[in-house]
Every structure is written in structure tokens, then in C-alpha cells.
Chain A
Amino acid sequence: MSNYYYVQEKQRRPIVPIHLVALIDLSLFALLSFRSGELNSFFWILGATKIVLTYLTYIMLKKFKMGETYITSIVAMILSIGLVMQLRISTDVGFKQFIWYLIGMGIFVATSSFYHLVHKRMRSIWFFYALMIILFMITQIIGVRVNGAKNWIVLGSVSFQPSEFIKILFVFFMSSFVSNPEALRLKIHDKRIHPKWTLMAMVFVLLGFFVLQREFGTAMLIFMVYLAIVYVFEKAIIFVAINAIISGVGALVAIQIMPHLKVRVDSWLNPFADIAGKGYQITQSLFAIGSGGFFGTGIGLGYPHFIPNVETDFIFSAICEEMGIFGGIAVIVLFSLLIYRGIKICLGLRDPFTKSLAFGLITTIGFQTFIIIGGVIKFIPLTGITLPFVSYGGSSLISSFLILGLLQALSGSILREEVFEGEKIHNE
């Protein structure tokens, strides 16, 4: 029966890409250990751990039919580059990043294995909105101001950024809206308001909170994700246009009113006018990217320490300096492949909630990558958000792995449906 043949062909998957990740890990960690003088066993252990974990997750996904392996392979490659760059810049910081990587992998395994148990239950739109507001309130009360943004909560020796988790909650919030807009239908003075206006009001309140805490990067990210989801799932384009116009006007007004926003725009338009002052970060970043040439200076031979915040915002510039423009383009292409696979997962889902969830999550990663890389190469004004999986930061890594785990869980649900379909057609 010809249908059976097609099912067979679909299940043939070559294993080769994951080996290449292992090869890269081997080379990079070997370089690191060689660079530190004697053949230091510290880096060998880290490298071996990474390779083992990469293979283990791959085998786990295949054995338990937990979905596709492409997104984890792509992220494994991105992580190789990211972890090694962090370790190269500073062994201490790099080691902390590695620990967060281990925790993140644990979270990934837990989420992708257990999400399907809870996903039917977690759908209430007010629950997510309330959680976000609570997190905001906590940050407002006990938050700590770092680099101008009141965005950190410090508990003893651990500090984390609630905004990294708010962005995930926001996607859940939007997905509850998409799958059940009627939950937001309010009645004021006997007039029934269409849910999308309530949604708009709620989202702008959220954005207001972010602006209040000077978290412009996350505000921009949340808004772009909001626009994307509304554009895809809402029939009336005029609604999207209204939102875009209001926020455009709001942004222009904000730039005039708030001085530090004006500084960002000025240093974006002409950083070289004030190289030592306002434009220092951007100019150093541009110099670094330029000094890399096509293939880079080689790992360890560049000067990343000239760039401020090189472990967090400007890690991409350091990659471009030491691995060349080809290395930088490779990172961009890897993220694009990741986004493509995410959209493919989204297309394969039936249930509007999970469809919107997958779309929102991958859009978050996509826009986040675009915003930070764009800011670092002076394509758009610089904002302080992290490059997923690459920038140093516990909260950033954990939230990225959480997103990856959720996408993997959704991919797994598609695979289990498809296998079931394939068997049915074969049996008929």
C-alpha cells in the first residue's frame, strides 16, 4: 500500500548534525584548555560534560518519541559557541554560566517531559495577568536598580530578573486570549465591549509598568510579540494598525520626554560624536566587529575586555571579533533556523491555545535575538536585553531553556499524533 511506504520514508533521520556539534565542542574546549597553559583538566571536564549532555538529550528525545531533534541540535551548537566565549572572557563568569547551563538542561528535560500533564489546566487568562502584576509589584517593592533599570530581585547570593519570566507569562496570557477571547468580555453601563479593547488596555498597562521600571528592552520585546500575535490571530487589520500607531506616537513622545531615551537614540545615530562618553559602548562594539575580519582573530586572540558589558549585551561583538564575520553570520543563521523550526511546530498544532503558545514563544526568541544583535551592530538603538543561550545570566538561560522545553513538549505532541495517524492508515 503506497501510503505505508511514505510513512517509512518519513522516519529515516540521519544522525550526522549532532556529531558536528560534538566535534565543535571538542575543538573549542581543547583550544580553551590549551590556552590556559598546561593541558588543564578543568576545561576537558567541562567539554566532556557538554558533549555527554548533548548526546544524552538527543538519545532521550529519539527513544521516548518526544518530538523533533532539530531544535535541540541547533541550540546545542549555539550553546557551544556561547559557553566557550563566556569561558574565554572570564573563567569565573564562564563557570557560573556553565552551572546555569546544567540547571537549564534539567529544566528543559522536566518541561518537555511533564508539560503535557498540566497544559490543559493552565489556561485562565486572569491567572496569568495576576501573576504578571504580582511579579511587577514584588519587583517594584523589593527590586534593586542596576544600570538604570529597576529589574533585579536579590535573594541572598542569588539575583534574578523577573522580566525574563514575565515575558513567558505574557505569551501564555496572549494564548489564553486567542483561544478564549470571551473571558475578557466586559460590560460597562450596559454596553458590551469587544474583548480586544480590554486586551489592548491590559497590555498597555503592562507596558506602562515596564517603562516605569526603565526596562525598555523587555517593553519593546513584549510589544512586538503582542503585535505579532494580534496580527496573526485577529481578523481586523485595523486593530493592528491602531496599536502600531498608538505605540509609535507613544515612543516618539517618550523619547522627547525621557532624557536617557534621548541619549540612546543620539548614540545610535552618531556614536562617534562622543566616543569617550555616551557612544563608548557602541563604538567599541563596532571596532571589535570590524577587527575580526572574515574568519576572526581566533579564540583568545581578540580584545573583548575593551567592550563594556561584553558578557551580557555585547557578547555578539566578541563573537564577531574572535570568530569573524562568518562566525557572527553563523550565529544569526542558527537562530533563523531555530525560528523556522519553531514556526513549523506552530503550524503542525491544532489547538488554538498551543498554536498561539508556540508562535508566541518562538516569536519571543526571534525578536529578542533581532533586538539585541540589531542594537549591537548599530542597526537599531541599543536596548538591554540578552541574547538567548549566549549572554551571561541565570534568568536569561533558565527562561530560554524553559521556552525550548515548552516548544519541545509541543513538538512531541505533534509527533505522537502523527505516529498514531501513520499507524491508522497502515492498518486500514
Chain B
Amino acid sequence: MYAIIAMITKYVLIFVIYMFILKIAKLIYQDIKNMTIWEDSKFMNPHLKLLSSIEKADMNAVTEIFPLKNKITVIGRSLDCEIVISDPHISSRHIQIDKVNQGFKVTDLGSSNMTYINDIKIQEPVMLKEGDKILLGSTELVYSEGGKLNE
């Protein structure tokens, strides 16, 4: 008697387990889709782009987007910074980006390896413009005003 029930249920069991797998897969798909939309919205506002060192030659390959939402954004190796970059050549508190009326101002916080914007060492606070390349240690960040979706 049990044998018959077990033999019938085995098909039901497999079916339900695969239903579960499909549901999870669908949720994952939706999650990825939402994530892409979320990522796109980061492009609309002012942000910094981090390029991976391998793909530097190809400007389209962006590793990460850091939106500049706060009034003060500190970038460095320390975990207290708003943007943490674990490059050994970056100081614990390397630069500070202030949101002012005219835009964004970059100040070097006395870093050991200096900060270079467009290959020029900055001695005093500098205003950022579209496409500026900020070099800290061996990491390069590109500033963008935002508003462009598919570059």
C-alpha cells in the first residue's frame, strides 16, 4: 500500500521541487533586472566612475559607480570614509569632495602620495568639471555630471 503511494508521490515531489527552483530563478532574474535599473539611476546624478586597471584602455568598461549625494564625501582607505578604496597607495583619508553651489570641490587631505587631476598635482582645492580624471595612488576616478544613460 505504502509502495503505491510512494511511487505516485515521487513524480509530485520532483515537480514541486523544480517549481521551487524555477520560482527562485525567476526572482533572481527580476532582481538582476531591478538592479540594472537601479544602476542606471546612479548615472543620472553627479558621480565618480572607478575604472578597473585592466580595462583602462576601454573607456566603456566601468567597474563601479559612486554617486556623490552627500555634502561632504571623503575618499580613502579607512572604513570611516564615505567611499572606501582599498589601494595600498592611498592614504586613510585621501581627498574630500565638498558639494558647493557651483558644483563639486576637491581638497587633498594631506595624502602621502598626492592627488593628481588630469595629471596635474593639486596644491589647493579644485572645482571638478565633466570628465576630470582624479588619480589617487594607483586608482583613477572619473568625475561625471550625470544625465547620460547609454555611453
Contacts and interface: CB of A to CB of B under 8 A. Distances in A.
Nearest to A350: B84
A298 B3 CA distance: 8
A412 to B, nearest CB: 16
A276 B149 CA distance: 67
A16 interface: yes
A401 to B, nearest CB: 20
Nearest to A296: B10
Interface in B14-34: 14, 16-21, 23-25, 27-28, 31, 34
Interface residues of A, number: 54
Nearest to A11: B34
Given A3-B41, A27-B16, A295-B14, A337 B28 contact: yes
Given A9-B34, A31-B5, A324 B10 contact: yes
Contacts of B10: 295-299, 322-324
Interface stretch (A17-25, A137-145, A153-161, A242-250): A17-25
A228 interface: no
Contacts of A81: 17
Contacts of A301: 3, 6-7
Interface in B23-65: 23-25, 27-28, 31, 34, 37-38, 41, 44, 53
B28 A70 contact: yes
Interface residues of B, number: 34
B24 A70 contact: yes
B112 interface: no
A21 B6 contact: no
Given A6-B37, A31-B9, A323-B13, A179 B86 contact: yes
B16 A24 contact: yes
A340 B27 CA distance: 13
Contact of B34 (A6, A14, A16, A324): A6
A24 B20 contact: yes
A73 B5 CA distance: 27
A333 interface: yes
Contacts of A323: 10, 13-14
A425 B69 contact: yes
Contact of B12 (A27, A74, A297, A330): A27
A296 B8 CA distance: 11
Q: Which of B9, B24, B25, B38 has the most CB of A within 10 A?
A: B24
Contact of B21 (A9, A14, A334, A352): A334
Taking each of B10, B16, B28, which has the highest tally of chain A beta carbons within 10 Å of its own beta carbon? B10
A82 to B, nearest CB: 13
A28 interface: yes
A235 B87 CA distance: 11
A330 B18 contact: yes
B130 to A, nearest CB: 21
Given A23-B16, A330-B18, A330-B21, A70 B11 contact: no
A13 interface: yes
Interface in B82-141: 84, 86, 88
Contact of A337 (B12, B24, B53, B86): B24
A34 interface: yes
A63 interface: no
A351 B76 CA distance: 12
A20 B13 contact: no
Interface string A1-17: 01100100110011011
Given A295-B14, A334-B21, A13 B27 contact: yes
A66 B46 CA distance: 30
Given A10-B38, A17-B24, A350-B84, A27 B13 contact: yes
A150 B13 CA distance: 40
B109 to A, nearest CB: 20
Given A14-B27, A295-B11, A337 B34 contact: no
Q: Which 9 A-B pairs have the closest CB atoms?
A: A298-B6, A20-B20, A352-B86, A17-B23, A298-B10, A330-B17, A298-B7, A10-B34, A326-B14
28 contacts: A6-B41, A9-B37, A14-B23, A17-B20, A17-B23, A20-B20, A21-B20, A24-B13, A24-B20, A27-B16, A34-B5, A35-B6, A70-B28, A74-B24, A81-B17, A182-B88, A295-B10, A295-B11, A301-B6, A323-B10, A326-B18, A330-B18, A330-B21, A337-B21, A337-B28, A340-B28, A341-B28, A424-B69
Interface of B: 2-3, 5-7, 9-14, 16-21, 23-25, 27-28, 31, 34, 37-38, 41, 44, 53, 69, 79, 84, 86, 88
Given A10-B38, A24-B17, A298-B6, 10 more contacts: A9-B37, A21-B20, A70-B27, A77-B20, A181-B88, A298-B10, A299-B6, A301-B7, A425-B41, A428-B69
